[in-house]
Amino acid sequence: MIKKTILFTTLILAAGGANAQARLDELGEKLVNDFLTNITTLEGQFEQSLIDAQGAIVETNSGTLEISRPTRFRWSYAEPYEQWLIADGVNIWSYDLDLEQVTVKPQAEALANTPALLLGGSEDALEQFDFGGTTVETVTTWVRLEPKDKDSGFNRVELGFIDSELRRMVFFDNLEQTTLVALHDVKVNEPIDSARFEFTVPDDVDLVGTPATAAILDP
């Protein structure tokens, strides 16, 4: 399958000039649209690195990612510290197990114009982004997306597809920091226990923020 992808992109580039780039951009848009519309669940392992403006690695993390569309996802950081980020469809819960603290925000507000919207958002998530072009690097097809809201905190996000499957994500923020995410052991469209996207505040932790309710968001 990887050989087919290399051959396909090579043929596109061989077409020449602006027409070749236009066809490559069309491929990139299709990859993103297929990811948003054809994948209902996704789970896998991730490795994440934060790089500062000077190119130095500030922090590295690893853990698991679970997505259940249209509105739920869970990032579980295991190393170097344990932290959960859970979107239950109404709220975003950030639970730092070491600090014994939970921060909660209404999900629609917290995700607006952020790259996370592309993971746990609905099919209309792309309405908040502009396509910035597509490039090919060895076996990876990179698609650039730019938030329409320039005050979102991010300059752009680049999604890397290998054999038409999302395997890399790069986030560029307004502080000139870059977050690199590599996915592996990915499974798509397989059942995930709905309890993975539920969160109850433990009795012995501090809660920062006020949870929204479905009734308030959708009267």
Domain chopping of the chain, boundaries: 2-213
pLDDT at 145 over 90: yes
Q: Are 168 and 181 in contact (CB under 8 A)?
A: yes
> Spelled out in words, what is the top-level CATH class assigned to the domain 2-213?
mainly beta
Residue-wise pLDDT tens digits, 73-124:
999 999 888 999 999 999 999 999 999 999 999 988 888 767 777 876 666 7
Residue-wise pLDDT tens digits, 155-171:
899 999 999 999 999 99
The pLDDT, as a whole number, for residue 2 is 44
For residue 45, what are the CA distances in angstroms to 33, 135, 184, 185? 23, 25, 5, 6
Residue-wise pLDDT tens digits, 7-33:
555 555 555 566 888 899 999 999 999
Residue-wise pLDDT tens digits, 49-82:
999 989 999 999 999 999 999 889 999 999 888 9
